[in-house]
Amino acid sequence: MHDSSKSRAASATLPDVQKSPDTRNIPIDKVGVRRVRFPIAVLDRSNEKQHTIGNFTLTVDLPSHFKGTHMSRFLEALNSHGREVSVDSLPALLHEMTVKLHAEQAHVEVTFPYFMLKKAPVTGKEGMMEYTCGFNAVGNGECQVDLFARVPVATLCPCSKEISDYGAHNQRGWVTVRVETRGHVWLEELIEMIEESASCALFPVLKRPDEKWVTEHAYENPRFVEDLVREVAIRFDQRDCISAYEIEVENEESIHAHNAYAYLKRAK
Amino acid sequence: MHDSSKSRAASATLPDVQKSPDTRNIPIDKVGVRRVRFPIAVLDRSNEKQHTIGNFTLTVDLPSHFKGTHMSRFLEALNSHGREVSVDSLPALLHEMTVKLHAEQAHVEVTFPYFMLKKAPVTGKEGMMEYTCGFNAVGNGECQVDLFARVPVATLCPCSKEISDYGAHNQRGWVTVRVETRGHVWLEELIEMIEESASCALFPVLKRPDEKWVTEHAYENPRFVEDLVREVAIRFDQRDCISAYEIEVENEESIHAHNAYAYLKRAK
Amino acid sequence: MHDSSKSRAASATLPDVQKSPDTRNIPIDKVGVRRVRFPIAVLDRSNEKQHTIGNFTLTVDLPSHFKGTHMSRFLEALNSHGREVSVDSLPALLHEMTVKLHAEQAHVEVTFPYFMLKKAPVTGKEGMMEYTCGFNAVGNGECQVDLFARVPVATLCPCSKEISDYGAHNQRGWVTVRVETRGHVWLEELIEMIEESASCALFPVLKRPDEKWVTEHAYENPRFVEDLVREVAIRFDQRDCISAYEIEVENEESIHAHNAYAYLKRAK
Amino acid sequence: MHDSSKSRAASATLPDVQKSPDTRNIPIDKVGVRRVRFPIAVLDRSNEKQHTIGNFTLTVDLPSHFKGTHMSRFLEALNSHGREVSVDSLPALLHEMTVKLHAEQAHVEVTFPYFMLKKAPVTGKEGMMEYTCGFNAVGNGECQVDLFARVPVATLCPCSKEISDYGAHNQRGWVTVRVETRGHVWLEELIEMIEESASCALFPVLKRPDEKWVTEHAYENPRFVEDLVREVAIRFDQRDCISAYEIEVENEESIHAHNAYAYLKRAK
C-alpha cells in the first residue's frame, strides 16, 4: 500500500502550511492532541508492570509567529517513546516533544485504569479493584510530575445516624485528588490514605462475614463530605513528600438525586 | 444572506443524489437522524404544560431501490409539527414523516427530563425532582406509543440488615422501564409505582425530621434488586392498561465499585 | 403523609450534628451540592424568556470551626429564589446563600441547554439550534458573574486542502469559552463571535442549495484549531466589555480517532 | 485484618437471606452484576496476547421460588476463571456460573478496548489504533458467542460532493456491529470489513503524503450512512461464517449538531 521512495518525493514537494508565518500576534498556551488512547505499562508498588490503557493529552506552547503545530509528531513521540509510563519516564517524553515540536514547554496529561488486588476484610477473598489514576507532567528538561487519583468509597451520614432510631443512609462517594510531590509517592499510598479517610473502603468480593464487617465498620465511622475532605487533607499534611494538593469529594447521596460536594486546595 | 428566487433556481438544477436508484438490493430497517435536541412542552397530570428539552431519534424504513433518504425533511417535520409532544400528538408526526419521506413506517423515539413537584415526607417542604421520561412511537396512521421512565430510588440491602448488629448498606439505584399500554397511563403513575416499590423514594429537599423518616423507612423496607424488579412487576401486572413491559434495575452498590443488576421482560 | 406540628416538635429535639464544633482546624474552600437539576427560564436577546433546565453546583466556604454545612438550605434557596436565572438575578441568590448558610462567600455554577432559532444560509429554512451555556457567579453582595458557552462548529483543515488535488478533511469541532465581563454581553453574541471564527457554522435544517453553500463556504475558510482559537481571541480582544477569557477548541478529526486541541487564556 | 476460623464460624451462623423462599411467583430473566471492570488478555490474530480491560455484565436467570441470587459468586467465578478471555474460553465461565449459582442459563457480556497496529497508507508510519470490541455469550454447556465491534471511520457526503463546485463535507462516523457466527471470525476481520466499507479508514499517524492520500481517497469514495450500512451488509453476506448480524451507523455530521443514522438487522 505504501511506497517509500514515492512518499519521500511527495513529502519534499508538499507545502508545509503549519510552518507558514502568522501575523495575528497571538501566542497559544497549549496546542496538541487529546483523547489519544494508547496501551501502556505502569510500574506498581509490588514491582510488577501493570498493563493498562492510557488516555493522553499531549500539548506544547505555540509562539505567535507560527501558524500551526505539527500534530503527527505528538503521536510519533508517543510511539517512539515506548509503552512504559511512570513519574521517571515522563521527563524524556516531554523533552522529545519540545525538540520535535520546537517548543519551550510541553505538557503530558495521562489517566488510566489502575488495579489493585484487594482482600475482603474477614474472609480474605481476593479480587481486582479498579481506580482511575494519572500523571500530569509539565516542563522541558526539568519537569514537575503531579499525581492524580480518583477513588470510590463508602460514606455514611453522621446526621442520619444520630437522628434516626435505626439505620443511617450511606452511599458511594468519589474522592478525586491532584497531588504535587517533592519525593516519591506511590499511587497505592494515595489510594490507601483516601480509603482510610472514608466510612469504609469498597471491595470487589465480599462474603457474608465481610458484608457484616463493612456494614458495621461504616456505621461506626460516619463521614460527611466535609469530614472526608478534611481526613484526606490531614493525611496529606502529614506526608512531607506532598507539597501541595487539591481534594474533591462527591457523594452520590442515597436520599437525593443530587450529590453532596466538598473541595479543598492547599499549598504547604 | 439568503435569496429565495436564487435558492429556488439553484434547487431546481441541483442533482438529487438520494433519489438515484440503488442496485445493491438491500432495504434498510431504519434511516434518519439522531441526537436531535429540540425544546418541547409535555402535558403533565396536573394539566399544565411542562417545558422541557427533547432528545429525538427520527427514522423511517428505506426500500432497497433508493440510494438514500432526505435527512432535512425529518427536521422540517419536527419544526412544522410544533413543540407539544404527547402520546396523542405523536401519530400525526409519524404520519407526516411517512408522507414526506415516502416511507411505509416511521419511528419517533424521544426522551426528556421530566420534573415533579415533590414534598418532603414530614415537613412537607417542596422541591423539584427530575426523572428521565420518554415516548417510543412506531407506525403510520395506526400507531403504538410506548412509555419510558428512568427513576432514581434508594435501596437498602436485606442481607446486610439481617446479618449486621447495626446499620445496613444502602445506595442510589436506577429503575428503567419501557411499557406498552392499551389505555392511558400517566408518566407520573409509572414513577409512583416505581418509587413505592423501592426501599424509599428520593426527595429534593429533606429537613432533619424528614431525613429521620427516610432513613428509618428505608431500614424498614429492605430491597434487593430482585425484590425491586418483582415489586414493580406486581404493580404493572395489576394495571389492565399495561399490556407488556420491560424492567431494569441497577444498584450503585455502596460496598462495591460495581453494580447489582436485575432485568425482567413480560407480555401479558 | 406529613404533620407539621409533629414535624416542628421533632425538629426541635433532633440534634444538629453539622453545627457541632470541629477541632481539625481545616477550613474548606467549597462545600455544597452538585448536579442539582432545576427547570429555569433565561432571558434571551429577543427579549423572550427561554424555558430550559439548569444543572447547578451551589457551594459556600466553611470555616474551620464547623463540622458541616446544612445541605438542604441550598435547595431551599434555589426553590425560594424562583426560576428566572440571569446575570442580574444571580447576586440575590448568592446573597441568600451566604445568609442562610452563615458563609463569607457563595458560588453558583449553572449550565443549561440554550436554543437559538437559526435560518439556513440560502433557503432561509428555520430550525432550533442547541448550545450549552452557563453562568459562574461568585461573591456575596458584590459579585462577579462569568459567562460560559460551548458551541459546535465546522472546521476544514488548511493543510489537507493545500496538499490535496481535491477535497479537504473537515469535521465537527467544539469551542468552549469562559468569559469575564465588565459590561453586558449576550450569550448570543459569544455564540456569534465563535461561529464567525470557524470554517462554517452548523445549522439545524439545510436544503440542497444550503448544503452547497456551507460546503463551499467551509472550503473557502479553512481553519486549524490554532486559527480558530486565535480568531475567537481577536474578536474577544475587540470587545471592551470582555476583560478576560479562556478559549478551548477541540476538533473531532475526521482522519483520526483522536482530537486536535488548542487552549488560550488571557486577561486584558 | 481477617481470621479465617472466625470467618468460617461467622459464616456458618449468619442467615442466608437470598436463599429464603419467595412467594411472589415471578421468575427473573437476568440477575447479576454490571460494570465489573477486570484486567484481561485477549488473543489477537497475530497470535499475541493483548492486555486490555474488560467491562463485564454477568447474569443468570433466577427461578421464582428464590428471593435472591448470590452476587459475590459472580466475582469469584470471574477471579477463579483467570484473565484470558476469548470465544473459546467463555463457555467454561458460563458453565461455572450456572453451577455456582444453581441456574439454568448464564450470560456474559464483555466489552474492551482493542488495539491494532496500523500503518499510514503512504509513508507506512506505525501507530496504535483503538477499537471497542466485545463478546456476548449465553448458554450453559452448549453456548453461543456473538461478536461486537465499534469502529470509527470517515464518511464523505455524496450529495455535498455532487452539488458543490469544490469540497464535500465529511466527518467521523461510528459503525457498531453485533455478529452471530457459525465458525471462527477474528475481530480484526470485522474491523477490516467495516473500514473497507467507509469513505476512508482512520489512522493514528499521518504525515503529509498520507494526509493527501486519505483526503483524496475519501473524496473518491463518498458514502451516505445508507451506503455504509449496505456496504457492511454486503461483506457480511459474503462470509458463510456469519449467520446473522445487526449494523448501526451514526455519522457525527460536520454540517449539523445532530447525527445521521442507519440501522439494519438480518438473519441469513
Which chain C residues touch A165 with a CB distance below 8 Å? none
What pLDDT is stored for residue A238 in this prediction? 96
Is residue D138 over pLDDT 50? yes
Is residue A9 over pLDDT 60? no
Instruction: Report CB contact under 8 Å: B121, C72.
Output: no
What pLDDT is stored for residue A237 in this prediction? 97
Is residue C11 over pLDDT 70? no
Instruction: Report CB contact under 8 Å: D122, A3.
Output: yes
How much is the ipTM here? 0.93
Q: Strand B143-156 vs strand B170-181: parallel, antiparallel, or unpaired?
A: antiparallel
Report the mean per-residue pLDDT for chain D: 93
Higher-confidence position of B12 and B233 = B233
Of C166, C172, C256, the CB nearest to D254: C172
In angstroms, what separates the C-alpha of A160 from chain B's closest C-alpha?
6
Judge contact between C135 and C112, C-beta under 8 A: no
Q: How many residues does chain A have?
A: 268
Q: For chain C, what are the domain ranges?
A: 21-267
B159 in reach of chain A (CB within 8 A): yes
Is residue B142 over pLDDT 90? no
- Side-chain half-sphere exposure of D68, counting CA atoms within 13 A: 20
In angstroms, what separates the C-alpha of A73 from chain D's closest C-alpha?
8
Instruction: Report CB contact under 8 Å: C163, A68.
Output: no
Cell numbers given for A197: 479517610
In angstroms, what separates the C-alpha of B170 from chain A's closest C-alpha?
6
What pLDDT is stored for residue D89 in this prediction? 87
pLDDT digits (tens, 9 = 90+) for A25-34: 999 999 999 9
At position D54, the amino acid (one-letter code) is G
What pLDDT is stored for residue A10 in this prediction? 55
Q: Tell me the residues of chain C between 25 and 84 that have a Cβ less than 8 Å away from chain D.
A: none
Report the mean per-residue pLDDT for chain C: 93
What pLDDT is stored for residue D142 in this prediction? 78
Segment B147-173 mean pLDDT: 98
What pLDDT is stored for residue D3 in this prediction? 42
Name which of A89-93, B80-84, B135-139, B250-254 the model is least confident about.
B80-84
In which region does residue A82 sit, left (phi positive, over 0), alpha (psi from -120 to 50) or beta (all else)? left
What pLDDT is stored for residue C12 in this prediction? 63
What pLDDT is stored for residue B10 in this prediction? 55
Is residue B199 over pLDDT 90? yes
Which of A11, A17, A61 is most worth mutating to test chain C (most C CB atoms within 10 A of its CB)? A17
Sorting pLDDT into bands at 50, 70 and 90, what band is A250? very high
> With a threshold of 0.80, does the pTM exceed it?
yes
C212 in reach of chain D (CB within 8 A): yes
Is residue C5 over pLDDT 60? no
Instruction: Report CB contact under 8 Å: D123, A14.
Output: no
In angstroms, what separates the C-alpha of A182 from chain D's closest C-alpha?
31
Instruction: Report CB contact under 8 Å: C172, D170.
Output: no
Q: Quickly list DSSP for B148-183.
A: EEEEEEEEE-HHHHHHSSS---EEEEEEEEEEEESS
pLDDT digits (tens, 9 = 90+) for D40-88: 999 889 878 899 999 999 999 999 999 999 999 999 999 988 788 888 8
Of C1, C4, C207, the CB nearest to B11: C207
pLDDT digits (tens, 9 = 90+) for A197-233: 999 999 999 999 999 999 999 999 999 999 999 999 9
Which chain C residues touch A26 with a CB distance below 8 Å? 230, 233-234, 264
What pLDDT is stored for residue A2 in this prediction? 41
B216 in reach of chain A (CB within 8 A): yes
What pLDDT is stored for residue D5 in this prediction? 47
Which chain C residues touch B113 with a CB distance below 8 Å? 37, 53
Nearest chain D alpha carbon to A81: D127
Is residue C179 over pLDDT 90? yes
Instruction: Report CB contact under 8 Å: D211, C165.
Output: no
Which chain A residues touch C159 with a CB distance below 8 Å? 17-18, 68
Q: Strand A259-267 vs strand B259-267: parallel, antiparallel, or unpaired?
A: unpaired
Name which of A168-177, B85-94, C184-193, D240-249 the model is least confident about.
B85-94
Q: Quickly list DSSP for chain B.
A: ---HHHHHHHHHHS--TTTSB--S---EEEEEEEEEEEEEEEE-TTS-EEEEEEEEEEEEEE-TTBS---THHHHHHHHHH-SB--TTTHHHHHHHHHHHTT-S-EEEEEEEEEEEEEE-TTT--EEEEEEEEEEEEEESSSEEEEEEEEEEEEEE-HHHHHHSSS---EEEEEEEEEEEESS---HHHHHHHHHHHSSEE--S---HHHHHHHHHHHHHS---HHHHHHHHHHHHHH-TTEEEEEEEEEE--SS-SSEEEEEEEEE-
Q: Under CATH, to which class is D21-267 assigned?
A: alpha beta
Of B22, B226, B263, the CB nearest to D67: B226
What pLDDT is stored for residue D10 in this prediction? 55
Is residue D6 over pLDDT 70? no
Is residue A6 over pLDDT 80? no
A209 in reach of chain D (CB within 8 A): yes
Is residue D4 over pLDDT 50? no
What pLDDT is stored for residue C2 in this prediction? 41
In angstroms, what separates the C-alpha of A169 from chain B's closest C-alpha?
6
Of B160, B171, B256, the CB nearest to A254: B171
Segment B219-240 mean pLDDT: 97
Sorting pLDDT into bands at 50, 70 and 90, what band is B11? low
Sorting pLDDT into bands at 50, 70 and 90, what band is A249? very high
Of B2, B37, B128, the CB nearest to C119: B2
**Residue A92 DSSP code:** H
